[in-house]
Amino acid sequence: MGASDWDYVVPCAGSVEDSLRALHAEEFARQYGGDDAYASIEDLWADDEFMGNEGTHSILDIRTVVATAEPPADHRSEDYFTLRPLGRDRVLHHFGTERPTREQYQEVFARGWSAPWPRPEPTLQDECAMRWTGRYVVLFTDGRPTHLGVFGSSGD
């Protein structure tokens, strides 16, 4: 099927883990609501053949939040299906501030799609270097964290 990049902007729902669970519920309902194949996200994840061969090409492929901003190392199995923060230095690099807004995130992400190939410097999308993983950026409104920008890649 190939690889798919995906991104979302979601309200902060307490912790990053809580925000991910809320996003999972929303995306599961969008993709599988009314579908008899899977009654829950746990049923989806239990389908090893589907998840191992195809996946959803969405945030539903991500199961765990990890605290480290370090990129996944050498395609270790424990790094697959993880969401990790974009490092502070990389946030500053891409946004020019440590407190980007929702609008800045959307602008920077969109700019990555229009960048020429080969890219003269990494885009935000390039920060997610390993498929089946994702990154998040805390987004601010009036100096307060209000949203997460979540992006990644699924597929082969």
The answer to whether the beta carbons of residues 151 and 135 sit under 8 Å apart is yes
CA–CA separation, 127 and 152 (whole Å):
9
- In Å, what is the CA distance from 143 to each residue of 18, 67, 94? 21, 22, 18
Q: Note the pLDDT tens digit of each residue in 23-36.
A: 999 999 999 987 77
9 pLDDT tier (thresholds 50, 70, 90):
very high
Burial 82-114 (b: 16+ CB within 10 A, else e): bbbbbeeebbeebbeeeebbbebbeebbeebee
What average pLDDT does range 79-103 have in this prediction? 96
Q: Is the pLDDT of residue 79 over 80?
A: yes
CA–CA separation, 135 and 114 (whole Å):
20
pLDDT at 126: 87
149 pLDDT tier (thresholds 50, 70, 90):
very high
Q: Which long-range contacts (CB under 8 A, 24 or more apart) does 75-82 make?
A: 75/130, 79/130, 79/133, 80/130, 80/132, 80/133, 81/132, 81/133, 82/133, 82/134
